[in-house]
Structure formats: C-alpha cells, structure tokens
Chain A
Amino acid sequence: MEFLGKYKAVYKAKAGCEDILSKAQDGGIVTAMFAYALEAGIIDGAIVAGPGKEPYKPEPMIATTVEELFAARGTKYSISPNMSLIKEATRSYGLDKVGIVGTPCQIQAVRKAQLYPIGLRDVPDKIALVLGIFCMENFPYQGLYQMVEDHCATKIDNVTKMDIGKGKFSVYTERGINAQIPLKVTHKYEQPGCHVCLDYVANLADVSTGSVGTPDGWSTVFVRSATGEATFNKAVEAGWIVAESMDGVKPGLELVTKLATEKITKNQKYLEHRKHAEHAALKPLRNPYI
C-alpha cells in the first residue's frame, strides 16, 4: 500500500454520539476524537477550522471545550491555515497539550515544525494529537464561492452542507440537495499548490480519516502512530467512536488506493513537467516518500 502510508490498523468508524453525527460531514471522527481527548485530558485544546465571518470561509480557531468543538463540525472546502495558531496555542492560550487537525500538507508542516522548530520554541513537545484528513485538492474561497454561486446557482448563505463524492460536487440547502456539478467543472478552481502534493491520506498524522472507502455516514480511519492507536482505542472503549473492521466493506480500501494512486500519479506527472519547465519558480519539490 505504497500510497496509503504506514498504518497500524484501518477501520470503518463513526462517532458514537448523535449530536456529533447530526452536523458532521461523514462519520464525525475528528470531532469525536478531539471531544474524547478533551474530556480525557489527552489534549487541553484543539486547533480546528472554525466558522469564519463569511459562510463556508473557515478560520482556524482553538477549541478548548466540546461546545466550541461542535461549532467547527463539517467540512469547509476552503483553506484554513490551522498551523498559524500552533504557536499562539502554547502562548496566550496557555495550552500544554495541543491537538491539531489538518490536510496532508498541514500535517507535513506540523511534523516539519517538530523536527526543525525554527521560530517555534517550546512548541514541538506540546503537540499531543495530530489528526489528518484525506484531501484530493482544496479551493481558494473565491473559487468555492464561484462554484456555489455561479455553477450551482445557489446563494452560499443558504447552503447547509457541501460534499464531494462519487465524482460530483453537491450542494445541500434546507430543502435538500440543491445542485450537483461534475468534479471536472471544479478543477479549474483548485489551488495550483495542490497539484504538487503527493499525499492523499495524511501519511504523517497520528490518525487520518476521510469518507472515501466507507458507506455514507461512516468514515475510513487509518490509525498510524502509537499515540493515535492509544487515543483511538480509548475513544472506542469510551463509546465516543463506533469502529468496525474494514473487511468486506464496499468500496473499501480499493477505492482509497485507487484515488490515492490517481492523485499521486497525476501530481507526479505535473512535478515531472515542472522539472523541465523553464520558469525558475516551477522547480521540483521534494518527494515525501523518500
């Protein structure tokens, strides 16, 4: 499983509590994990993509209670620079054990910061739980806005949920599913930076999760590190998470592997292209797999 990174176990899982599931994107794993970790004292605050000033424009926030955590449920398909708060969390917020959720690139940044803590004095040892989410690509807010307002002809203020799945970008309002557009249409709105990324399932996180591979309402969970394993198992024991084996689940790991391979080979091609590009700004990036 070259493109899925190293993992100790993989599960089909969802949150054990209806409150989380009601507004969660899929299985509510990130909210449930952080909520459990907060209650159990494994972390004393988590950096999450909170609601911003404009609808579906996420802003990083530090949640120190389960209520604050609940405000950040659900995916917002735009950029939330969670790493920008990692230092502040240990400073004016006074946290000793910080949890952070992020896309694969953000998780790479977390690990890099732990390895070379330049400008992050006394931060690395305070990062207690790192949750990664699967990510194919991300959209700048203006791009997302245009997709919703123009292509889907929906006022973004009325949107209750956005979802990407089965090759479609879907927009839900209170009246139910309002519009669906093929993913192909959205490609031009992607961040260019996403095209050099060679990580689909947050290989460096303690636990990474995403909807791909499991039925609706469930999430696929990769448990990767010892910390991640301990926390996840305890969360399952405590009933915050319901976990089942991935065996026989359709579409299962096959689909995860397929999408990961798709993303990475596509981006590798783009990297290859950049290698021969004349513009200096397009120089190739380091391959995280070596």
Chain B
Amino acid sequence: MSKVVEISPTTRHEGHSKLVLKVNDEGIVERGDWLSITPVRGVEKLAIGKTYEQVPKIASRVCGICPIAHTLAATEAMEASMGVEIPEDAYLLRIILQCANRLHSHALHDILALPDMYLPGTDSKINPFSPAEPVRSVAKRIQTLRMIGQTVGEIAGGEAVHPSNPRVGGMYTNITPRARTKIYDLAKQALPLAREQMEFMIAIFENYAKRDWAEMCGREVAIPKDLGFHQQGYMAVDPCYGSSSLDEHPTWDPARWIEVRPWDWYMGEEDITLEDPAYPIGGTTKAGAKAWPQMQACTGVPLYDGQPVEVGPRARLATYRNYDRKGAIGQNIAREMEYMDSVYKMIEATDALNASGKVVADVIPQGDGSFGWAANEAPRGADIHLAKVRDGKVEWFSMLVPTTWNFPTCSRALIGAPWELAEVIVRAYDPCVSCATHMIVLDEDNRLVAQKLLE
C-alpha cells in the first residue's frame, strides 16, 4: 500500500518548489513529482509590444542568480530574429560574462550542497558556516571565487546582477585595457582556487557515494547505489557558451521541442498519508492535508523528441566530453569539473579581446517578424529564448529555462530512492526555480490550448 508524503517547500536552492512523493512501505519512492510553486512571472506576456532593447532587460529580471544567462539568451534571441551579426570583440565580452556567471553560480551551489555531505572519515555532516577547519577555509575560498565571478561580471557586463552592458547588436561599451588586465589578474587568482575547490568537492562527493547510509530525520537512511539515476536523455547546445538559429550548424532544433501542460503530466489530487515531524526545517506536511500537483505546478513541461531531458553540467559533459557518471553524485561531480573550464575560457577570451575594437554592429535591422531562437548554456543548463521581432517591436517571446527541462526529468530520477533523500537528488540539479515558472500554450499535437490553470 503506497503512501503519499509531501516536502514543502524544498530548501537550499533558488525559488519555491515542493516534492509530492508516492512511497512504498519501505519508504522507497514509487512515483515522484517535483514541481515549482513559484508564482508565474509573466515576463513572456510583458515582453509583447515592447522594443527589442527592453525585452532582454525585462527577461533578466526573472531571477537574480543567472540574470547574465537570461540577458544573453534574450539578447541573442532578438538578434536571431532580426538577423544581427555582432562584432568579434562583443562576442568575446559575452563569453567572459558567461564564464563569470558560471564561476560564481557553481561556487554558490557548493554552499547549498555541502550540508548534505559528510566530512570524509567521519559521520558528521558539513556545516559550511562552521568556524572550524577545513570547512572555514573552504567557505572563504567559495567567497573569493564568487567575488571574482561577480567582479568580472561587473567589469565586462556593467553589473554583476542584471548586466547592463549587453545590447542587441553587441555590447554598449568595450572595456579599457586596464579593465582587461584586471579581469586577467582576477582569473589568474581564481585558477588555483578553482582547482582546489574542485578537488575538495569531488572528494566530498566521492565519499558520499561510498557511504552506506545518511542520517535523516534522526535515523540512518540507506543510500542506494543508484541514487538519482534516470533513463532520460541529455540536451546541451555547447560546452561553454551557446547556439542560435543564426549559426551555420545550430545545435538545438525547435521542431523537436513541444511543451505540455502540467495537467497532463503530474499526479492528480492526493491525500497526504505519511508525515515525519523530524524532517529538517519543521517536518513534512501534516497527514490529512491534500496535494494537487497537476493544479499547483507553475511550469510547463517541455519535451524534446517527446521525452523529458536533462540539461546542465552533466548534459554538457556527456554530450561533448563523453562523461558517463550517472545519478545525483555524478551530476554534482560534473558541475565541479566545469570550474576549470570556466576560468580557462575566461582567460582565453580576455587574451583574445581587443580592448579598442568595436563592439556594436554597424547595421541593426529592425526585424520582419521571423522566428529566431538562442540557447545559452546557463550554469544550470540550456536556457533557450525564442522570439519574433517585427519593426523593432517584439511580437512573441518565450523562455525555455534550464530548470523547466529538469523538473520532469528529476521527477523520474526520484524513483527508487528513499524519500528522505529526495531533496539530495533535487539539489544535485542546482535548481533555480523562479525563472522556470511558465504557462504553457501547446498540447501534444501542437495545438493552442486554453490556459486552464489561470482560469
């Protein structure tokens, strides 16, 4: 006889989401629904009728963790629709910005993931704010890495949160030679720190993979060897930066994408029959309450080739580097492995940047309403923005953000895990939920459907 348990809200990630889990008598998840309950932002509707300059700025406001990814994806979606080619130096500045974003975001994730993990050789969980070593120096290292990421973002992007420098057609201003040197120095400073951080975190995750149990709700919960495994595919468009419909060989295909409603995907109304007051932060939802995932979910469910796919660091490494480690631990390790790439890429782009080169395209056509998309490999995966621009105004705009892709995939990865560890799996996706709230408009047959959940 299966029972239903609800963890609401889930913690230590961006945004507001919850888990509704059907578990068997042993507490193993038989069906897991992870859904966003962040209110809809409405950015896609706000964008309609605005100028192409405004929309990327509005789009970046959807979230404060990866606004750089949203700015770049939205800007490039406009460029893709209008057919703008940006100068080389603007592209390099965007790459620097992209790497800065990834560096600080991955470092932030380490803080969020560490409390689930154990100090190797002990049975004590890590408190990243503990004043004791070795945790103290790790926390400081994370802060330094984040400082570097944010400062580089400020220099190249004008602002670390919601960058002001990117514009349709390139960038507003190039940086000065002095600023270029500063980025170079900061990246050089980050290099050894990133390597140490990567090695430390991988050791911590490997240690967790070897453990038999984890302490949850005051008891020992067995860690399955296939924690977070799933059979879904991976989707990545580039190892570092992105792709767009202007590319000679685009690496994403809008024809393979459809989006269905949570109504058709998630569980119906369920009575909560299992509760555990010992679960961290106030216990799980009380038994007797009701959960209605298909009604409460605020995301669409995007499918690629008719299936949910995983996006993110592991998808990038699996697609471009033959990485084959599965599960929650595999995903965390893949994220750590991206540290070095983001710093090296930053150095490379800074090297190649001509600080006196032009950064705005000479000609910016105003758009004829044709469809364009741009995918940006945000820290959490492919962030795809789609747009139609006509005569300088945005006619249609849609955002397909990383965690939207990951919601249904992660829900499948929950199956077979003890419910107490469901959040560990969720956190391995480094979810960023607030931008993922999204009302859908198409059903499986690509027909426009009424937005029943808004009625």
Q: What residue in chain A is nearest B175 (Cβ atoms)?
A: A92
Q: Is B249 an interface residue (CB 8 A)?
A: no
A94 x B161 contact (CB < 8 A): no
Residues of A within 8 A of B151 (CB): 122
Question: What mask results when residues 28 to 59 of chain A are scored 1 for a CB within 8 Å of chain B, else 0?
Answer: 00000000000000001000000000000000
Give the contacting residue for A93; candidates B160, B176, B183; CB below 8 A.
B176
Q: Is B165 an interface residue (CB 8 A)?
A: yes
Residues of A within 8 A of B175 (CB): 92-94
A93 x B178 contact (CB < 8 A): yes
Chain B nearest CB: distance from A125 CB in Å? 12
Q: How large is the interface on B (under 10, 10 to 19, 20 to 34, 35 or more residues)?
A: 10 to 19
A87 to B158, alpha carbons, bound, how many Å? 8
Question: What mask results when residues 164 to 186 of chain B are scored 1 for a CB within 8 Å of chain A, else 0?
Answer: 01000000011110111111000
B178 x A94 contact (CB < 8 A): yes
A94 x B160 contact (CB < 8 A): no
Residues of B within 8 A of A94 (CB): 155, 175-176, 178-183
Q: Is A103 an interface residue (CB 8 A)?
A: no
Q: Is B116 an interface residue (CB 8 A)?
A: no
A64 x B161 contact (CB < 8 A): no
Q: Is A91 an interface residue (CB 8 A)?
A: yes
Q: Is A214 an interface residue (CB 8 A)?
A: no
Give the contacting residue for A91; candidates B159, B180, B181; CB below 8 A.
B159
Q: What residue in chain A is nearest B355 (Cβ atoms)?
A: A92
Q: Is A90 an interface residue (CB 8 A)?
A: yes
B174 x A92 contact (CB < 8 A): yes
B182 x A92 contact (CB < 8 A): no
Chain B nearest CB: distance from A235 CB in Å? 23
A92 x B173 contact (CB < 8 A): yes
Enumerate A71-110 residues with CB–CB distance to B below 8 Å: 87-88, 90-95
Chain A nearest CB: distance from B70 CB in Å? 18
A122 to B183, alpha carbons, bound, how many Å? 16
Q: Is A8 an interface residue (CB 8 A)?
A: no
A93 to B158, alpha carbons, bound, how many Å? 10
Interface Cβ pair total, 8 Å cutoff? 43
A94 to B182, alpha carbons, bound, how many Å? 7
Chain A nearest CB: distance from B326 CB in Å? 40
Give the contacting residue for A92; candidates B158, B160, B161, B181; CB below 8 A.
B158
Chain B nearest CB: distance from A85 CB in Å? 11
B173 x A121 contact (CB < 8 A): no
A92 x B159 contact (CB < 8 A): no
A90 to B154, alpha carbons, bound, how many Å? 8
Residues of B within 8 A of A122 (CB): 151, 154, 160
Given contacts A92-B165, A94-B181, contact A121 B159 (CB under 8 A): yes
Enumerate B118-170 residues with CB–CB distance to A below 8 Å: 151, 154-156, 158-161, 165
Give the contacting residue for A64; candidates B165, B178, B180; CB below 8 A.
B178
Residues of B within 8 A of A90 (CB): 154
Q: What residue in chain B is nearest A94 (Cβ atoms)?
A: B179
Residues of A within 8 A of B183 (CB): 94
A91 x B158 contact (CB < 8 A): yes
B154 x A91 contact (CB < 8 A): yes
Chain B nearest CB: distance from A99 CB in Å? 15
A91 to B159, alpha carbons, bound, how many Å? 7
Question: What 6 additional pairs, Cβ within 8 angstroms, besides A92-B174, A94-B180?
Answer: A87-B158, A88-B173, A94-B155, A121-B159, A122-B151, A122-B154
Which residues of A are at the interface with B, using a C-beta cutoff of 8 A? 44, 64, 87-88, 90-95, 121-122
Which residues of B are at the interface with A, using a C-beta cutoff of 8 A? 151, 154-156, 158-161, 165, 173-176, 178-183
30 A-B residue pairs with Cβ-Cβ distance under 8 Å, sorted by A, are: A44-B178, A88-B158, A91-B154, A91-B155, A91-B158, A91-B159, A91-B179, A92-B155, A92-B156, A92-B158, A92-B165, A92-B173, A92-B174, A92-B175, A92-B176, A92-B179, A93-B175, A93-B176, A93-B178, A94-B176, A94-B178, A94-B179, A94-B180, A94-B181, A94-B183, A95-B178, A121-B154, A121-B161, A122-B151, A122-B160
